[in-house]
Structure 1
Amino acid sequence: MTLNSTPNANRLHIALFGRRNSGKSSLINALTGQDTALVSNIPGTTTDPVSKAMELHGIGPCVFIDTPGFDDEGELGALRIARTLKAIERTDIALLLCEDGDCENEKQWISQLKEKNIPVILILNKADNRKDAAETANRIGESCGEQPLIVSAQTHSGMEAIRQAILEKLPADFGQQTITGNLVQEGDLVLLVMPQDSQAPKGRLILPQVQTLRELLDKQCLVMSCTTEKMAQTLQALAHPPKLIITDSQVFHTVYRQKPAESLLTSFSVLMAGYKGDIPYYIEGAAAIDRLTTQSRVLIAEACTHAPLSEDIGRVKLPRLLRKKIGEDLQIDIVAGTDFPADLGGYDLVIHCGACMFNRKYVLSRIDSARNRHIPMTNYGVAIAHLNGILDKIVYP
């Protein structure tokens, strides 16, 4: 993939935290070699977390997140700090800018970041304006337990040290996940069954389909595609049954009834669940569907913020399946995009989409939120397979 075609969800998310006017925006510009972020001497110039997709030399496609100062003041300042806290949920690596040896605020943020298992790189910026930079760095090191990198966004000194630190702090499994895992290998025949209904964008495929197809081609698999209506005809045209059939979760039952016995079956949503989330946790969470009653409350979470369609899977089809099993009085709340409740108390089950629009860190933070409250959580594809009684008959990475 080229830089511009790499989805943000597949990029390394690097967030910059620090006090107002500590040089976060200037540092992003220095690291990327472009005027990516708005820079001003006026404290509070960055009023909301701003994300920018860029290429970082030696690391690859990244998303830089420029956040407001965590020392912001007043009612609006509190709201901005709350937005900054939410940015933590999608952060893979944090650059924390320190100003002086008084690091009480910084230590609190270091603690919050490390609680989320986010690697932290301490930075002392504006070295060109500091006569006592080395001494200040030592005081920060003593206070925070880690020596900061001494850099200057103005002169671009220390940028290579930051890049090297990012490489060293990269999560061990970052970029190692694959969508199809070990389900297929070179030479395997894979059939993609893709309904083209009102949900399918005219003239193009949805992102999970595109990403899965690209990975299968990279793996040198033999790929055949068809709509649900043409599945039987497609199977007849093949010399032998496909090793794997991948379809949309909404037609699981239809495809399962037609598939050859020797062919494995999964869905794009299930594959994305393994790619972005925690499949064993989702499977465990699906069992909670059988414990729901008409007094239960379910949260359905979508990553996309598209306008609802007449046969939308998250807003229409999945609620219909749930109410058919549990009863019409089942309470179902639906959220989209980043509108995910900070407190999941009161919910008996959370059902999340495949999250192709989110990075893995963000999805795992949502899973942790549910797990910490002992609330079952599952995924569209896993839930639909369970509701169709075929969860034990599908495969996942």
Structure 2
Amino acid sequence: MELAPLGPVAFLDTAGIDDQSNLGEQRTAKTLEALASSDIVLVVAPPGQWGLFEQQIADKARAQNTPVIPVVTKIDLQPADPDWLNRIEAECGTKALAVSCAQAASDHAVREQFLNRLASALLAVCPESLLSPPPLLGDLISRAEKTATAPPVAVLVVPVDSGAPKGRLILPQVQAIRDALDSGIAACVVRECEYEGFLSSLSRAPDLVVCDSQVARFVAERTPSESALTTFSILFSRAKGDIVSMAAGAARIQSLKPENRVLVAEACTHHAMKDDIGTVKIPRWLRKAAGPGVRIDHARGRDYPDTLAEYALVIHCGSCTLTRREMLVRIQKAKEAGVPITNYGIAISALQGVAERMLEPFPEALSAWRTALAADKAQISERTISMEAP
């Protein structure tokens, strides 16, 4: 649902945690999973019914610093007692919303009135990071370049192959174009096969080049050294997750062994094409680098395994369909399991030998990559010496 000025808002309708049926445990697990990834929690209860289960949800949400809004339903059948209402508002720390779903369903004006109150309530508790998110690429070009007579130029290299959706761009590409416009940057979009010719038509090198991960090496070999260069997926590793941790995690690729297991996690559930990046290309590149015996498992959509400790590495997609909180939760789970995690863009850049170039616009991430790479090489050397010792 589009709620200005928040933008698109995804509502996750859960089963609660008071299900005593045979499937209750699984439903509760899904509810808690949704709770961990939510930016705001709405706890729904009829008048007078705020017991242990509702309080558990509110307490868990507040423990992870997630705002809680109590929503009182069925007020057409029973008005809420003022003392009870004051108590749950004190428990949640926010003003309660009251609604009759029956009335809202039959009366458009009542529905719109409630939606307006809901939008106001969400805005009142919404974290500032959601209202004013950091730029996707706008800060990668200096302010001096933006105030020059001509606008700075960003070239976006977008392959149109069998994996591209028909008649449209994918979400990271669209968001990059919009962020460039918001930042006063001229965005030029070309296919990789036209990239060199387009560069030769420019009077100067572009200020920034962003490419699809799978053509990272091709573009890196043809991009002027004075141009900042990265990939769409790496941009999202910063916007949606922790680029420093993910840059360090990519160093694990160099020490993968044929008997290792790798998890490739993709947030969306699109239909995989014959040359799909997550299910075909990344596994092919990994096996070429580490050996054909590497076992690769896949997790798609909101399914994210609890058995991360079984893996040597997690490679996650750009997470354009996840909230930042949800991606950070996934990163934290990997850290708790002691498993390095990286994302498609950084992993592919490492596999193609251009990770240094692609991480240059992000000095802290580049430093983390170099440090982790050196540490990993040192461990490999120690193991080799130990194995060769008499």
TM band (smaller chain): 0.7 to 0.9
Residue 166 (1) aligns with residue 122 (2): yes
Residue 206 (1) aligns with residue 174 (2): no
- Equivalent residue, structure 1, for 2:135: 178
- Equivalent residue, structure 2, for 1:103: 51
1:29-44 pair list within 5 angstroms: none
The alpha-carbon distance between structure 1 residues 372 and 62, as it changes in their structure 2 partners (threshold 3 A), is same
The alpha-carbon distance between structure 1 residues 239 and 361, as it changes in their structure 2 partners (threshold 3 A), is same
What is the alpha-carbon distance in structure 2 between the residues aligned to residue 329 and residue 284 of structure 1? Answer: 24
Question: For the Cα contact (< 8 Å) 1:274–1:396, is it kept in 2?
Answer: no
TM, length-normalised to structure 2: 0.79
- Equivalent residue, structure 1, for 2:61: 113
Matched residue type, 1:214: R
1:137 aligned to which of 57, 64, 85: 85
Q: How much does 1:286 deviate?
A: 0.9
Secondary structure, counterpart of 1:288 in structure 2: helix
The alpha-carbon distance between structure 1 residues 356 and 141, as it changes in their structure 2 partners (threshold 3 A), is closer
1:170-319 pair list within 5 angstroms: 170-175=126-131, 176-184=133-141, 186=146, 187-319=151-283
Per-residue CA shift, 1:68-105, capped at 9, x if unaligned? Answer: 34322311344433332332244211111345375322
Matched residue type, 2:126: L
Q: How much does 1:307 deviate?
A: 2.9
- Equivalent residue, structure 2, for 1:340: 304
What is the alpha-carbon distance in structure 1 between the residues aligned to residue 335 and residue 262 of structure 2? Answer: 15
- The aligned length equals 343
Deviates more, 1:173-182 or 1:323-332: 173-182
What is the alpha-carbon distance in structure 2 between the residues aligned to residue 132 and residue 237 of structure 1? Answer: 69
Deviates more, 1:318-327 or 1:82-91: 82-91
Per-residue CA shift, 1:123-179, capped at 9, x if unaligned? Answer: 44445554661122344467x474762624358698766544422211121141322
Secondary structure, counterpart of 2:230 in structure 1: strand
The alpha-carbon distance between structure 1 residues 310 and 55, as it changes in their structure 2 partners (threshold 3 A), is closer
Matched residue type, 1:180: L
- Equivalent residue, structure 1, for 2:34: 87
Q: How much does 1:368 deviate?
A: 1.9
Question: For the Cα contact (< 8 Å) 1:149–1:161, is it kept in 2?
Answer: no
What is the alpha-carbon distance in structure 1 between the residues aligned to residue 36 and residue 310 of structure 2? Answer: 22
Q: Gapped runs of 5+ residues in structure 1?
A: 1-53
Identity of aligned residues (%): 38
- Equivalent residue, structure 2, for 1:43: none
Secondary structure, counterpart of 1:106 in structure 2: helix
Matched residue type, 1:83: K
The alpha-carbon distance between structure 1 residues 330 and 158, as it changes in their structure 2 partners (threshold 3 A), is closer
The alpha-carbon distance between structure 1 residues 354 and 218, as it changes in their structure 2 partners (threshold 3 A), is same
What is the alpha-carbon distance in structure 1 between the residues aligned to residue 95 and residue 45 of structure 2? Answer: 8
What is the alpha-carbon distance in structure 2 between the residues aligned to residue 382 and residue 169 of structure 1? Answer: 34
Question: For the Cα contact (< 8 Å) 2:138–2:185, is it kept in 1?
Answer: no
What is the alpha-carbon distance in structure 2 between the residues aligned to residue 131 and residue 314 of structure 1? Answer: 52
Q: How much does 1:305 deviate?
A: 2.1
Secondary structure, counterpart of 1:66 in structure 2: coil
Matched residue type, 2:334: A
Per-residue CA shift, 1:252-299, capped at 9, x if unaligned? Answer: 111111111111110111112212111111111112222321221110
1:362 aligned to which of 317, 326, 330: 326
- Equivalent residue, structure 2, for 1:41: none
- Equivalent residue, structure 2, for 1:30: none
Deviates more, 1:326-335 or 1:88-97: 88-97
Higher percent of residues as strand: 1
Deviates more, 1:57-66 or 1:352-361: 57-66
TM, length-normalised to structure 1: 0.78
Secondary structure, counterpart of 1:345 in structure 2: helix
Q: How much does 1:374 deviate?
A: 2.2
Deviates more, 1:160-169 or 1:325-334: 160-169
Deviates more, 1:294-303 or 1:59-68: 59-68
What is the alpha-carbon distance in structure 2 between the residues aligned to residue 69 and residue 182 of structure 1? Answer: 41
- Equivalent residue, structure 1, for 2:370: none
What is the alpha-carbon distance in structure 1 between the residues aligned to residue 118 and residue 163 of structure 2? Answer: 44
Q: How much does 1:347 deviate?
A: 1.0
What is the alpha-carbon distance in structure 2 between the residues aligned to residue 246 and residue 57 of structure 1? Answer: 29
What is the alpha-carbon distance in structure 1 between the residues aligned to residue 166 and residue 227 of structure 2? Answer: 30
- Equivalent residue, structure 2, for 1:45: none
Question: For the Cα contact (< 8 Å) 1:138–1:147, is it kept in 2?
Answer: no
- Equivalent residue, structure 1, for 2:18: 71
Question: For the Cα contact (< 8 Å) 2:68–2:94, is it kept in 1?
Answer: no
Question: For the Cα contact (< 8 Å) 1:302–1:352, is it kept in 2?
Answer: yes
The alpha-carbon distance between structure 1 residues 309 and 131, as it changes in their structure 2 partners (threshold 3 A), is closer
What is the alpha-carbon distance in structure 1 between the residues aligned to residue 3 and residue 159 of structure 2? Answer: 38
Q: How much does 1:60 deviate?
A: 4.5
- Equivalent residue, structure 1, for 2:293: 329
Question: For the Cα contact (< 8 Å) 1:133–1:150, is it kept in 2?
Answer: no
1:379 aligned to which of 338, 343, 359: 343
Q: How big is the alpha-carbon RMSD for the aligned residues of Structure 1 and Structure 2?
A: 2.6
The alpha-carbon distance between structure 1 residues 278 and 127, as it changes in their structure 2 partners (threshold 3 A), is same
Secondary structure, counterpart of 1:95 in structure 2: strand
